[in-house]
Structure formats: C-alpha cells, structure tokens
Amino acid sequence: MGVFSKSQMKIVTGDAGYVLEDVPHLSDYIPDLLTYSNPLQDYPAYSVVRQYFVDADDTVAQKIVVHKSSPRGTHFRRAGPRQKVCFESDEVHACIVTCGGLCPGLNTVIREIVCGLYHMYGVNKILGIEGGYMGFYARNTIPLTPRVVNDIHKRGGTILGTSRGGHDTSKIVDSIQDRGINQVYIIGGDGTQKGASVIYEEIKRRGLKVAVAGIPKTIDNDIPVIDKSFGFDTAVEEAQRAINAAHVEAESIENGIGVVKLMGRYSGFIAMYATLASRDVDCCLIPESPFYLEGKGGLFEFMEKRLKENGHMVIVIAEGAGQELLSESMHSMDQQDASGNKLLQDVGLWISHRIKDHFTKQSKMVINLKYIDPTYMIRAIPSNASDNVYCTLLAQSAVHGAMAGYTGFTVGLVNGRHTYIPFQHITERQNKVVITDRMWARLLSSTNQPSFLSPKDIIEDKREEGPTPTQLLDGENCMDDKPASKEICSTR
Ligand SMILES: Nc1ncnc2c1ncn2[C@@H]1O[C@H](COP(=O)(O)OP(=O)(O)OP(=O)(O)O)[C@@H](O)[C@H]1O
Ligand SMILES: O=P(O)(O)OC[C@H]1O[C@](O)(CO)[C@@H](O)[C@@H]1O
Ligand SMILES: [Mg+2]
C-alpha cells in the first residue's frame, strides 16, 4: 500500500484500485503519542460482545454497486471503538457546540455524546458552548452531565443555542487552549463543517493534543457522501401533516388548491421525499428542476388540466425552487445572513399570488387557494424514533473516534455503515437531487406532473453532468465524479 497526502488529504492506495480517504490522527503531528487500553474492555456490557472493537484495517466502500472490472474505488475508515485509545479518562476535557439552523435531533446528539463519554469512557469534564461558534469567546459555558442532559432528547432545538456567523478561528482556538479542552465535538451543517476544518488546521498548526470531531447536521440533506442526515426522516414525517392539511382543505371546496412550502435552500430532498410519501401531492417543485408558469407544458396549463380532472390539487414547493423566476419578477434583494448564505424570497407566497392572478385574469375557473408554510414548525420538533437511534449511533461513533485519537473528521453513515470521513470530502460540494436519475423519475411518475424539460434539455442536462453514474443500484444517483450530485441512498 502507498500512503501520500494529496491537497492535505491522507490517501492510502492499495491493490485493484483500492483508495482509502483516511482521516487525520493526532499521532500524525504529535510524536510519541501515548496509547492506553480501551476502558470498554473491562465494561461487562461490551466485553461480552464478540468483536466489539473495530479492526484497525476495516474500511467501508463508497460505492457498493460495481462491475466485474470496476476498480475497488474510494473507501472510508470504519467508525467504532478501538483496542487502544489516546486519552485517559480523567485527562479528557470535552466540549460540544451546535451551529447553523435548527434540525430535529440536535439535543439527542448532545445527550448521547455526554452519555457516551461518561458511561463508556468515564469522562466527566464536558462543557457545552453556548450560542454556536461565537460562544467560544463571547458567551458562557454549561457543564454537561448525564443528569443535565437526561430529558433533552424530548425537546426540539438545541439546549446550547446556536448562531450563524461569528467564526473567528484564532479566538476559538485560543479559547480551546485556554480552557484546556482536548476534545471538540462540533454539530452543524456544511458551513459548520468548513469552520470545523479550519479549527482543526489551526489546532494542528499549534501542535495541540486536541481531537476535532464533526457531526453533520442538515435538515435539507445537502451534505454529500453520507446516506442521509439526521433529522431528515423526522422532517419528511412532519411535512406529511402540512400536506395532509393542504389536501383536506383543497378537496373540501371546488377547485381547491393547497400550496405547501417546505425547506430546501439548494436541495429539494425534503419536498421530494415528502411528496413520494404522501400520494396527495399533484406537483412537487424543487430548486434542481427549473419550471415555468405560462404556455404549453407550463405549470398553469397542468393545473387547469388537473383541476378539471380532480376538482382540487396540492402543490409542494421547496423554498429554493424557482428563485430565478422570482428575481425576474421582483427586485432581487441579494441579502445574506450572518454566515454569508443568500437570503431567499418567499417562493410559496409568490407562487400563490401568481396562481391567483392567473386564474382571476386569464382563466375562467374560480379557484380557492390555501397557502401553508410549516417550515419552522417542522424544523423545531424533536426527532422521531428512527432519527433518535441514528443520532445515538452518530454521537457514539464521534466519541469512539476522538478517544482513539482521530481528528479532523466527520462521522457519517455510508452504505449503512458508520464511518469517519475527512472534512474536505463533505465540504467540497453539495448534495443535490439529480433530476436525470431514477428517484426524480419515480416522483414524476407518482405525481404524473410535467418534467418542465424538453427532450433536448434532458440530453443537454445529462451531458453537463459528465460521467455516467458510478453507482448502478436501482434508485441510485450517487455520481461521485461529478459535482453536486448525490441522492439519499436509503432507498437501496
Ligand atoms: N467557510 C467557512 N469557514 C469558517 N467558518 C464558516 C464557514 N462557513 C460557515 N462558517 C461558520 O459556520 C457556522 C454555521 O454556518 P451556516 O450558518 O452556514 O450554517 P450551516 O452549518 O451550513 O447549517 P445550515 O444547514 O443551517 O445551513 C457559522 O458560525 C459560520 O460563521
Ligand atoms: O431562518 P434561518 O434560521 O436562517 O434558517 C433558514 C435556513 O435553514 C435551513 O433549514 C438549513 O438549515 C434552510 O433550509 C433554510 O433556508
Ligand atoms: Mg449550510
């Protein structure tokens, strides 16, 4: 096997095209790092489990559908407890911070990091950093114990508070150093993980024995590589309530139209999965699929047809859909939030006005439209059962990784296995719905809505997307070699 560093990544190559995109380890820059037996060895609950410890050579393939002649491809280090750890229990001083927007499951992850450190590794110095990254230097801290976090998974939001903006790397690392913190658990989305990456780089530059572990959070599911993000299932489930309400309202009145806006700034996964789950949706509009309103093949034509057939209809629209149409008809504000994310205009309100306008002025149909915006209600709820389990495993993976001395990594489920992924791999692009792949086609055949694309557009779209999909599974569009394209792989 060859080991080399390519643009700061630890790449290990092996036979038959095997590539391990490895995560950094404290021993990479700290010479003579001491190791200790994992205390779990003496813990009856774990020591009876055969092969509880992960073999140091275990890795997980990014692509699991291959041809006879395919190279073995990219792998990630398998997550889990190691025989040896790099911290003694009473040496650990951990901290946890949550950044970016809310997402169901944040409190569960916090709880399980605290309980994992405490119960599995006997760690009792754990600090909660209040109010996101800026909390490192501008806010108070909260001591976290299993008792403090006992019930928090039943609440939405984050007990630590969160924020956007305010990432000052040297002030953050100064604070870590001054407080004697040696394990940093960072929960947040793409921006947060970029922030975690620069914190790790600065810690390494200063030669500190501090492990940095990221736990990816995004309700939009816009983080690549991982099967899906925590809180996503909960969001899809909660969206059903809004869609159901829209449907009840719409079908109770002649030519009733329900419009539901769901989150999804650049990626329409929540809208796509909520639509597929519901069966009451007639048309789903997402940022990745451009649409138009007027003329042949446009939304209004489809709406008139559907209303004539069924007497009512439901439209689900992701918040980032049709932004180019909005900026054509409204003054683009070009405002940003504190983290530099573009502030979007309310597409749900806009499309509702446009629909009303069209039917009043250009069509003889009298319609009755109800607009429902449940976005923050969906984001603010506690996680459901399956997300709670998922959050627990992510938190425990992060704890095992940091205790073993891995650093500069994010935890993630890849093809159903928990892994450690280098920050760069998940921050370099965004996960988006690929509209030329099967999952979107399934949605189109479920709603029977127009694709708003001409055959010529589809050919061009495919050409732009470059290489053919590397995953060939049914429902698969994880195109690793092209930018911004990977579908949730939970449908496998
Ligand atoms: N490129 C970057 N370098 C350093 N810090 C960053 C970077 N991008 C964002 N951050 C910091 O990360 C934090 C969260 O970023 P952001 O508000 O974009 O949310 P996010 O983590 O992407 O989550 P969400 O899913 O809600 O968008 C902020 O404090 C922001 O300053
Ligand atoms: O209003 P806030 O808190 O900035 O968050 C809104 C954004 O957060 C997200 O949910 C991502 O976390 C986006 O879908 C949405 O645009
Ligand atoms: Mg983000």
ipTM: 0.98
Ligand 1 center–CA 183 separation, angstroms: 20
* Residues in binding site for substrate: 218-220, 263-265, 319, 376-379
Residue type, 22: D
Q: Which ligand is nearest to the CA of 268?
A: 2
Return the best residue to mutate from 99, 164, 220, 381 for the ligand 2 pocket (most ligand atoms within 8 A of CB): 220
Please classify residue 57 by burial: count the beta carbons closer than 10 Å to its beta carbon, then call 0-12 exposed, 13-18 middle and 19+ buried.
exposed
Decide: 58 and 78 in contact? Cβ < 8 Å: yes
Ligand 3 center–CA 189 separation, angstroms: 5
* Residues in binding site for ATP: 101, 164-165, 189-192
Instruction: Report which of 258, 358, 260 is spatially closest to residue 313, judged by C-alpha positions.
Output: 258
Mean pLDDT, the chain, rounded, equals 90
Confidence bin at 62 (pLDDT 50/70/90): very high
In the annotation, is 220 catalytic?
A: yes
What is the greatest pairwise CA distance in the chain? 80
pLDDT digits (tens, 9 = 90+) for 120-145: 999 999 999 999 999 999 888 999 99
What gap in Å lies between CA 432 and CA 488, rounded to an integer? 9
Going by CA atoms, what residue is nearest to atom 15 of ligand 1? 191
pLDDT digits (tens, 9 = 90+) for 149-207: 999 999 999 999 999 999 999 999 999 999 999 999 999 999 999 999 999 999 999 99
Which domains does the chain carry? Answer: 85-229+382-427 (3.40.50.450), 232-381 (3.40.50.460)
Going by CA atoms, what residue is nearest to atom 20 of ligand 1? 189
Going by CA atoms, what residue is nearest to atom 3 of ligand 2? 101
Q: Does the CB atom of residue 166 touch ligand 1 within 6 A?
A: yes
Going by CA atoms, what residue is nearest to atom 5 of ligand 1? 195
Q: Does the pLDDT of residue 491 top 50, yes or no?
A: no
What gap in Å lies between CA 420 and CA 17, rounded to an integer? 20
The residue annotated as part of the active site, out of 220, 227, 233, 280, is 220
What gap in Å lies between CA 321 and CA 288, rounded to an integer? 7
Q: Does the CB atom of residue 190 touch ligand 1 within 6 A?
A: yes
Q: Does the pLDDT of residue 470 top 60, yes or no?
A: no
Q: Does the pLDDT of residue 279 top 60, yes or no?
A: yes
Ligand 2 center–CA 101 separation, angstroms: 5
Confidence bin at 49 (pLDDT 50/70/90): confident
Q: What is the pLDDT of residue 459?
A: 58
Q: What is the pTM of this model?
A: 0.92
Ligand 1 center–CA 113 separation, angstroms: 21
Pocket-forming residues, ligand 2, beta carbon under 6 Å: 100-101, 189, 219-220, 263-265, 319, 337, 379
Q: What is the pLDDT of residue 475?
A: 37
Confidence bin at 4 (pLDDT 50/70/90): very low
Q: Does the pLDDT of residue 396 top 50, yes or no?
A: yes
* Residues in binding site for Mg(2+): 190
Q: Which ligand is nearest to the CA of 187?
A: 1
Q: What is the pLDDT of residue 43?
A: 81
pLDDT digits (tens, 9 = 90+) for 337-365: 999 998 888 999 999 999 999 999 888 88
Q: What is the pLDDT of residue 404?
A: 98
Q: What is the pLDDT of residue 408?
A: 98
Q: Does the CB atom of residue 216 touch ligand 1 within 6 A?
A: no
Q: What is the pLDDT of residue 335?
A: 84
Going by CA atoms, what residue is nearest to atom 6 of ligand 2? 101
Ligand 1 center–CA 190 separation, angstroms: 6
Instruction: Report which of 1, 8, 2 is spatially closest to residue 425, judged by C-alpha positions.
Output: 8
Q: What is the pLDDT of residue 173?
A: 98
Q: What is the pLDDT of residue 455?
A: 59
